[in-house]
């Protein structure tokens, strides 16, 4: 993807505040082992990763703040720019939060894999003191497994680069496009499908490339739906985002705009009342939010989703099926229920893309079918996402369903219901 070398500083928070190569830190505080702030490993309470139905993560989050940011005021902690500036990005910083396994330490000690490492203090507070198998920890802390390349894996398995009429724009389906507006994320998911383009010091396409992408949309009247993604588009400043939405809204054939983001999950502080006031001027605007586990549904994230929903933005979720994270009917059902409580409608469940170094995250396809079968009929239809495989090679999303058609008997179609009982539907062949 394109390099965002000329991103205007006044409009681009990430470049302004994150000069390339700057060594990231846990901030200005000294909380090293000798400081008395860092709890000794033995004293660190290890919290079960599936506690009862109390508000998720809150005790852990409070302990994290007490330990690492005791003097940071709420106004700073709740400021999304502070969260971005103080991301955890180094082995040193991470070692202070978690006791690392050899597999985790070794990859960072060797300079990491393809995708950079980084997470917000907020998301770090959700994994503080967690054990290596903790689902959220697995999703953001790299391991040596990322360096293992398995058969069938590729850096660009979806063939996005081959469907790019201009850099930063993927035109795969007839009436809609994917517009990649930044390569930056506040927190990097280890299973990222776009590891090849995100987080390499570029914050997105430069103005010339973005102008070329907008121009392509302008002169392609069959495009009625623009999906803005990245990187994470909500890491752009309000001004930059508003400029982009304004450009898209000036194109008469663009009917809907969608934003694909994980910000409400990893940086909920970004969803300010001002942002929501701005977004609501660009309706019809939809959002696809990325969630992988019920522990992500915290009070902060709930507030962010509530603000977005109150701004009239229909919220859908996208979840990647991940081994050891959410490959379980009960975990997935709880996630879907919590999403609905936050007014987010489950949209897609993705089979994990065969991105290079992803084999430790991938499950058999049958696991996804088992999960859908465990949801459909057993809970609200609104809680059941579509299970899809994004076809390697660029075929687009292909839906998969458990097989509910058992066969035929004469003029009857034989159908299996959610309980496994067989029913007949009269369906004469003519
Ligand atoms: C997922 C995707 C879309 C949007 O697909 P929907 O099924 O409409 O949500 C559009 N373009 C590309 C390249 C995609 O990967």
Report DSSP letters for 101-112, one per residue. PHHHHHHHHTT-
Q: What are phi and psi of 174, to 5 degrees?
A: -60, -45
Which pLDDT score is estimated for 36?
A: 35
**With contact defined as beta carbons under 8 Å apart, do 262 and 304 qualify?**
no
Q: Which pLDDT belongs to residue 121?
A: 97
Indicate which residue of 206, 353, 362, 367 is catalytic. 353
Is there an atom of ligand 1 within 6 Å of 178 CB? Answer: yes
Strand order in the sheet with 422-426: 405-409, 412-416, 422-426
Residue 19: predicted pLDDT: 34
Q: Which amino acid residue places its CA nearest to atom 1 of ligand 1?
A: 397
Structure confidence at residue 49 (pLDDT):
38
Write down the residue that tokens 């109390």 correspond to: 54
How confident is the model at residue 240, as a pLDDT? 96
- Residues 267, 84 contacting (CB under 8 angstroms): yes
The pLDDT, as a whole number, for residue 430 is: 81
Please tell me what DSSP assigns to residue 11: G
Compute the distance between CA of residue 189 and CA of residue 263 in angstroms, rounded to an integer: 12
Query: CB-based contacts of 7: which residues, under 8 Å, 6+ apart?
Result: 14, 15, 203, 204, 206, 207
Cα–Cα distance, 61 to 130 (Å, whole number): 11
The 3-state DSSP composition of the chain as helix, strand, coil percent (nearest 5) reads 35, 15, 45
- The CA distance from 188 to 266, in Å, is 10
Domains and CATH numbers, the chain: 59-147 (no CATH), 161-396 (3.20.20.70)
Regions of the chain short of the pLDDT cut 50 = 1-56
CA of 261 to the centre of ligand 1 (A): 14
Minimal-distance CA residue to ligand 1 atom 6: 397
What is the pLDDT, as a whole number, of residue 415? 98
305 in active site: no
């Amino acid at each position: 993807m394109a390099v965002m070398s000329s991103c205007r500083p006044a409009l681009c928070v990430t470049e302004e505040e994150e000069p390339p190569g700057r060594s990231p830190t846990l901030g200005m505080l000294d909380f090293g082992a000798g400081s008395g702030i860092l709890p000794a490993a033995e004293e660190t309470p290890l919290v079960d990763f599936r506690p009862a139905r109390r508000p998720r993560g809150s005790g852990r989050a409070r302990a994290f703040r007490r330990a690492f940011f005791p003097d940071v005021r709420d106004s700073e902690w709740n400021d999304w720019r502070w969260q971005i500036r103080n991301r955890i990005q180094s082995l040193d910083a991470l070692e202070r939060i978690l006791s690392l396994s050899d597999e985790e330490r070794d990859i960072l000690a060797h300079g990491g894999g393809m995708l950079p490492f980084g997470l917000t203090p907020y998301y770090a507070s959700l994994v503080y003191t967690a054990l290596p198998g903790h689902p959220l920890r697995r999703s953001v802390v790299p391991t040596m497994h990322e360096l293992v390349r398995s058969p069938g894996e590729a850096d660009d398995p979806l063939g996005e680069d081959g469907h790019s009429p201009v850099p930063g724009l993927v035109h795969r389906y007839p009436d809609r496009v994917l517009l990649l507006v930044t390569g930056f994320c506040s927190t990097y998911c280890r299973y990222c499908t776009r590891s090849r383009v995100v987080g390499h010091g570029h914050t997105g396409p430069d103005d010339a490339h973005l102008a070329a992408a907008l121009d392509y949309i302008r002169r392609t009247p069959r495009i009625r739906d623009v999906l803005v993604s990245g990187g994470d588009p909500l890491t752009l400043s309000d001004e930059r985002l508003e400029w982009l939405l304004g450009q898209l809204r000036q194109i008469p054939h663009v009917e809907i705009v969608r934003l694909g983001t994980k910000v409400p999950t990893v940086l909920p502080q970004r969803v300010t009342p001002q942002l929501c006031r701005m977004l609501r001027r660009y309706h019809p605007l939809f959002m696809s939010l990325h969630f992988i586990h019920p522990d992500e549904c915290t009070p902060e994230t709930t507030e962010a989703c509530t603000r977005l929903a109150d701004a009239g933005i229909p919220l859908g979720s996208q979840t990647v099926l991940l081994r050891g994270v959410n490959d379980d009917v009960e975990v997935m059902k709880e996630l879907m229920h919590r999403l609905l409580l936050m007014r987010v409608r489950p949209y897609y469940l993705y089979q994990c893309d065969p991105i290079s170094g992803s084999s430790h995250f991938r499950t058999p396809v049958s696991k996804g079918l088992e999960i859908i079968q465990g949801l459909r009929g057993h809970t609200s239809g609104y809680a059941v996402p579509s299970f899809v495989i994004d076809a390697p090679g660029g075929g687009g999303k292909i839906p998969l369903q458990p097989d509910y058609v058992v066969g035929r008997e004469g003029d009857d179609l034989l159908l299996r219901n959610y309980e496994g009982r067989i029913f007949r539907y009269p369906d004469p062949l003519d």
